[in-house]
Structure 1
């Protein structure tokens, strides 16, 4: 039975550790001595690493006073840091460090620690939060520690803020700090001692054994405070949110009070269960299941936290903290852990400095950082147009201008609303784990390692009539470009008839002599991709062509698989007649099979010519290989003899009839084959002899040329005698002086692209560019105008994208994949568009959707058959 609740409040004291950040580079800065010297009387002290400084609060009985104390000390520390060009970040780890920051602080005790513990001491680039709660004496501290220990994993999950290591790599853990800290020899949940005498004997024994140098090196998650009567909590990461720290402190104090008043102390968990529960908390934070402190069964972090608040209601009420802590706990549940927010920040643009900016901003916030996010259960309540976009230019495909869901999206919006932010976030974390397990990765430009391709759960829905229009238009375009490629590498009639200026061809870097090796009249763009955008003002428009080596089909299929496995409540709302993506790989295989040269025989051998596993899209190559049985070969596994190509691997040798090229053609042709000789002329001889087909054909890069893009509508009329079915984005050729001068004059209003750019590289979006970026582009246009084109800033439609707490509008485009095969008669072509589209999602604040620039994807629901479902209204707003 519980004893009566005390009326006095135990005091709480908090020590916070902060990383020092250089505001210019956003890297950690080894300047703790400079900071400590600026305000020597305010309690700022250096830690073991020179890039870390500690701030210690006074002891407070009032949670309100403690909150203000922490805010004041952070403000003072930030002020001191700002004078030195620094800022502070409260996080268990930060993703940007340099070698200079790994220096141990230059005083004798810290140098001795480094000498005694070596790498263990030097690698402790971690920051924690220590909370001291007043107790009568050390005996009381040790008496209550064992009973409190079972609740420690929850407090760790609440604080989790260290998902990245110092090199910016995602560790897969919400608190990697705890894993690093647990390597010290004196760690665990609580000391194996119930009295101060036992504790002193334990410490003395460890000192005599020369395992530690003194009591300060007892690093248990709970330990008696060193300087006064208190019980110290050491398990928590440093928390960017002051309110998170306050929530943990208030819960910890209430746990101490509750345990002190129990007639029968709460028994500790089995050590193996305790360790497992702590590991699980470090792994998943608030975004996964924890082990229930009472039953040890998996339960959602939300339930475990709210149950603990309710369990401690008497103690929290007695101190006047219940309503405050209950509200803060619910807000923490809604906002998720800092680790989750950091991962979301990185995924938006793929830039670690975005994570640093987030941590610095949250640490400096005078209010709870989670207030930066909506905490309403309705994930669509704050759904508004993107800031800076005028309403008459704004087109959201899921919601109308009145903020109401369009008919085709109503059921899906309702299902997402029922799941709420916590349910969606839980499913999102599971989905991201699923993508990681399956290896669905892409390497963002500038990153040394691949990361999981970001997939959002809210689908894009395209109705039957829109699909028919888009697929037919894409097939028309693919046929016209194929005719152009055959012509431009053959008779060049389009030049002779003046429908394409000769200088455009001469200046195109994609125009290669190797393109002349393909057989005349053959299919050249076997699988082509076309990127489409939509806006209410302009309808559907084609933005770019991809006839060199379009990627993304696998990501479209993985998005569907992810929806079915991880978001069943949403997927169940799909309209009737939904596209079946299961045959897309078979279609791919059949297209390559149809590309085999006449002498290939009844069983043509097809290979995927790849640069290897370091290629950014290697995952896609592997998936295609596994689904179709087509082997992946690298250039050093190919050899050509007597104008016939062979695959040579593991002692075997087999003729190659079709090579699906998934690398830059120049890199491929200049690579050395299995015989050590460059592949260029042997491969070209095999193509010319009609013994080998390269898909897509060599020289196809001219079809991706942004200047050539401007003439595709004329190509459709010239080669097919048809009007373009899908609109075109007006394009200015900077190689023409008058157009270049106009572009320079309107540079801050236009999008300028390199004619040979891929993956969104080299693009300048005038309204988003800095003065320095515009000045550099202006100079390039004056010196090398032929290398650029310009377009008006087009209005990309938006779709809801889950940002961890609420849905936000993000710009999207659509990539479709069209297959061309030779028909039965001379010059006849069969065109079919794969029943799968990749909806690409731009990061927050960007119009660039490319995966290599940090963009993500969505499942695309295509109604490929006339649906009887009355909700299958037009997807076009």
Structure 2
């Protein structure tokens, strides 16, 4: 056996690709080192070996030889599918006639080839046998690709793929599977026809996933990304050799096999490139179905056990399999490195250190949670149980406490919650708010990205609300059908009478989730009366009292700072706020703080029966708002008066469970209608005004991206979860066929009510929901299931993963970006075990959210 590795050359100062391969190759022996199509790459070719240990030694020897000539030039090497900071403009063609002809013929295909692969050769002297083996092992190639995937970043961004190199590579006309072949002669005829067609120039350009080598009596594996950790390449080599041996044994024994249909093979390769080890792979059945990648890898090793034992490779392959499933493939490790600071330079440093380091890779210097149930997509704990560096101090602090101290802290937490009356209403009853003691950390680069994306979204929604109840340009231009608006459950005819230039939704809430690859998605927009801010503040107060010694990171935001900003936002449109429209000093800092504003703002609540009564009380008390109920208000001469104190109210923050115009006091007085008339005449500003429900409507959620383009002339900075409008006949058919695979929600639901998660539902529940959607299509929407990220949560004094989301708040004072800010707090909500539903009303809890900003 043997191997060929393609290695990127990295400028260690700039962290970019360096096109200096010709200079380095002039100092290296031609037998083991050669040029590639791009000047930023060197290819190594091992000597022929017989054992995995010898192959490891060869790879280490050749890498060391390249490093010895590269380091004096300020260069490093990186064995990855794509260099993390590579850019289209980095491509420089190696100057040979062959490569020049290829560039002339294939144009963009060649210009994109900033990719590196790993090729493994296994000796098969009989070419007819090699062709038969090629057909039989095709079904297992996606597993090898998933193990080797090392190219999540391309052109300076996360592509969402574990191996974007595979997607780029498959554009070549001869990439992929050969299709059914019975003999070497048939393969040779195929090559001859391809060459005669003019599509390829010679046999070397047959870039099939597996092929008989064009220059050696071997079968050559070509499907894998280059692997920075040598032992990952050794694992691929060991499994590939065993696959060849197993197929040879089956052929000689005369066992039949069912060829993999080319579209299924292509689909399986695509799935491996998309998710790597963090997603699903297709199983080995005749009609393949998705299974967790780890299970597919383990099944392959088990199936190849007889051949691995015969080759003497079983113990080593088993150990290497366990290691990679624990630490993840290179794509997983690269994303984890990027998550720390959001710097691609850190990812470059990682892949260079792994490529130039020991064969087993870099051992993380972080605490290990040995009893933690590892899953892809955990925000704090990697696949090997190593905590992310940003969580290391927290984990060590809790470890030093021990289980007994943690349980005592939880008891103190419960006493604090009871003593401070932190409750949330569920079906008419107030229940204590569940809080976990392990904080969640949001890094500076994540918070900055969320700030930009959510402010953009808030501006577009505010513009939409003003337009809908004003000129209705969006409807006139056909961007949105008028019936989608006026027939919406949230449409309020009276809202047409409110002043055109007043902010309609100064307080917006957004529910966000992260998928298993770390990407943020907006799940829902909350524009009517989003709750959660007071709970975020209370949780920080709780943690400061119960666990004052937890190590706080520098740059940690204080959620209580949101209170003065809330009051300023409510008064911004009354003419009473002296800092109205003041520009933010930085995205993470938001609108600059100011002296106490003139004017009186009040929060209007239904009282103790309100589900978020604790929040109403807390916000009013700590933000300097009057807390009023309908009986406390009177309208005199077009002004809204606080009866107990006689003050005129300038801004009224509506936190009602019903519509304002329908609100009456205990005596039946239609005070809500009177207040609305005052607002329509400009006598009071209503914060989160009547009619905002059209933007809160889940059926409107899919259009927000179009609002951003229409009103702001921008592209969305944050992605939404794919959503189907069942009122559309074509989309309804799709949903009805897939109710068991989707999340379905009522368009006017809140608090998780009516949500059905298809994969977790019974057949009867799916059938009932299908009938409900068919009976009233306009009342529902459906969304793809998002595999929410998880976060360590205490269960019996030990940490275990639970799914989480994030509710963040944008304060809006106008339509310009500088008039909006992301509030310096967020509420992390935690789902019960085995659930994706995080709402408190559905058994969920919450935890402190540590938002960290850059220190200047």
2:152 to 163, 166, 169: 163
Q: Does 1:63 align with 2:143?
A: no
Counterpart CA distance in 1 for 2:140 and 2:330 is 20
Q: Does 1:600 align with 2:680?
A: yes
1:20 to 9, 29, 44: 9
Structure 1 residue matching 2:42: 3-state secondary structure = strand
Q: Does 1:102 align with 2:91?
A: yes
Counterpart CA distance in 1 for 2:172 and 2:223 is 13
Shift of 1:235: 0.3
CA contact (8 A) 2:566 2:623 kept: no
Shift of 1:365: 1.7
Q: TM-score, normalised by structure 1?
A: 0.52
Counterpart CA distance in 2 for 1:588 and 1:28 is 60
Shift of 1:252: 0.6
Q: Which residue of 1 aligns with 2:600?
A: 522
Deviations 1:778-799 (A, max 9, x none): xxxxxxxxxxxxxxxxxxxxx9
5+ residue gaps in structure 2? Answer: 373-380, 412-433, 440-512, 526-535, 549-557, 579-590, 605-621, 625-652, 661-671, 690-694, 714-790, 813-822, 830-835, 850-856
Q: Does 1:321 align with 2:321?
A: no
Change (3 A) 1:203 1:400: same
Shift of 1:387: 9.7
Q: Which residue of 2 aligns with 1:122?
A: 111
Counterpart CA distance in 1 for 2:136 and 2:395 is 57
Shift of 1:476: 12
Change (3 A) 1:523 1:18: same
Structure 2 residue matching 1:184: 3-state secondary structure = coil
1:291 to 279, 282, 303: 282
2:239 to 225, 234, 251: 251
Structure 1 residue matching 2:47: 3-state secondary structure = coil
Counterpart CA distance in 2 for 1:603 and 1:624 is 32
How do residues 258-297 of structure 1 correspond to structure 2 at under 5 angstroms? 258-262=246-250, 263=253, 264-295=255-286, 296-297=288-289
CA RMSD of aligned residues (A): 6.0
Counterpart CA distance in 2 for 1:323 and 1:637 is 62
Counterpart CA distance in 2 for 1:388 and 1:438 is 26
Change (3 A) 1:188 1:624: closer
Shift of 1:97: 2.6
Counterpart CA distance in 1 for 2:159 and 2:300 is 29
Shift of 1:116: 1.1
Q: Which residue of 2 aligns with 1:343?
A: 335
Q: Which residue of 2 aligns with 1:72?
A: 61
1:367 to 336, 359, 364: 359
Deviations 1:532-574 (A, max 9, x none): xxxxxxxxxxxxx999xxxxxxxxxxxxxxxxxxxxxxxxxxx
Q: Does 1:51 align with 2:40?
A: yes
Counterpart CA distance in 1 for 2:162 and 2:237 is 20
Deviations 1:360-418 (A, max 9, x none): 111112131264388875338977897999x9xx89785553477712679999999xx
Shift of 1:267: 3.1
Counterpart CA distance in 2 for 1:132 and 1:17 is 14
Counterpart CA distance in 2 for 1:34 and 1:818 is 54
Change (3 A) 1:481 1:585: closer
Change (3 A) 1:819 1:127: closer
Counterpart CA distance in 2 for 1:198 and 1:192 is 10
Change (3 A) 1:480 1:412: closer
Counterpart CA distance in 1 for 2:214 and 2:367 is 41
Q: Does 1:197 align with 2:185?
A: yes
Shift of 1:171: 1.6
Counterpart CA distance in 1 for 2:654 and 2:45 is 61
Deviations 1:650-709 (A, max 9, x none): xxxxxxxxxxxxxxxxxxxxxxxxxxxxxxxxxxxxxxxxxxxxxxxxxxxxxxxxxxxx
Change (3 A) 1:405 1:819: farther
Structure 2 residue matching 1:254: 3-state secondary structure = helix
Q: Which residue of 2 aligns with 1:225?
A: 213
CA contact (8 A) 1:608 1:632 kept: no
Counterpart CA distance in 2 for 1:460 and 1:339 is 37
How do residues 373-522 of structure 1 correspond to structure 2 at under 5 angstroms? 377-379=370-372, 400-402=400-402, 406-407=406-407, 430=515, 435-436=520-521, 438=523, 462=539, 474=560, 478=564, 520-522=598-600
Change (3 A) 1:16 1:314: same
Counterpart CA distance in 1 for 2:224 and 2:8 is 15
Change (3 A) 1:299 1:595: farther
Counterpart CA distance in 2 for 1:546 and 1:22 is 53
Change (3 A) 1:228 1:369: same
Change (3 A) 1:397 1:817: farther
CA contact (8 A) 2:4 2:119 kept: yes
Shift of 1:256: 0.7
Change (3 A) 1:149 1:415: farther
Counterpart CA distance in 2 for 1:209 and 1:405 is 75
Counterpart CA distance in 2 for 1:414 and 1:402 is 14
Shift of 1:193: 2.7
Structure 1 residue matching 2:73: 3-state secondary structure = coil
Change (3 A) 1:124 1:439: farther
Change (3 A) 1:337 1:522: same
Shift of 1:175: 1.0
CA contact (8 A) 1:149 1:190 kept: no
Change (3 A) 1:603 1:30: farther
Change (3 A) 1:633 1:36: closer
Shift of 1:211: 1.1
5+ residue gaps in structure 1? Answer: 1-11, 417-427, 441-458, 493-508, 527-544, 548-582, 610-620, 639-648, 650-798, 821-833, 841-858
Change (3 A) 1:362 1:478: same
Q: Does 1:152 align with 2:230?
A: no
Counterpart CA distance in 2 for 1:33 and 1:306 is 42
Shift of 1:109: 0.8
Structure 1 residue matching 2:222: 3-state secondary structure = strand
Shift of 1:521: 2.5
Counterpart CA distance in 2 for 1:315 and 1:636 is 61
CA contact (8 A) 1:50 1:101 kept: no
Shift of 1:801: 9.3
Structure 2 residue matching 1:287: 3-state secondary structure = coil
Q: Which residue of 2 aligns with 1:180?
A: 168
Change (3 A) 1:324 1:432: closer
Q: TM-score, normalised by structure 2?
A: 0.53
Counterpart CA distance in 1 for 2:562 and 2:89 is 59
Deviations 1:323-342 (A, max 9, x none): 11011111111222211221
CA contact (8 A) 1:129 1:234 kept: yes
Shift of 1:860: 14
Structure 2 residue matching 1:35: 3-state secondary structure = helix
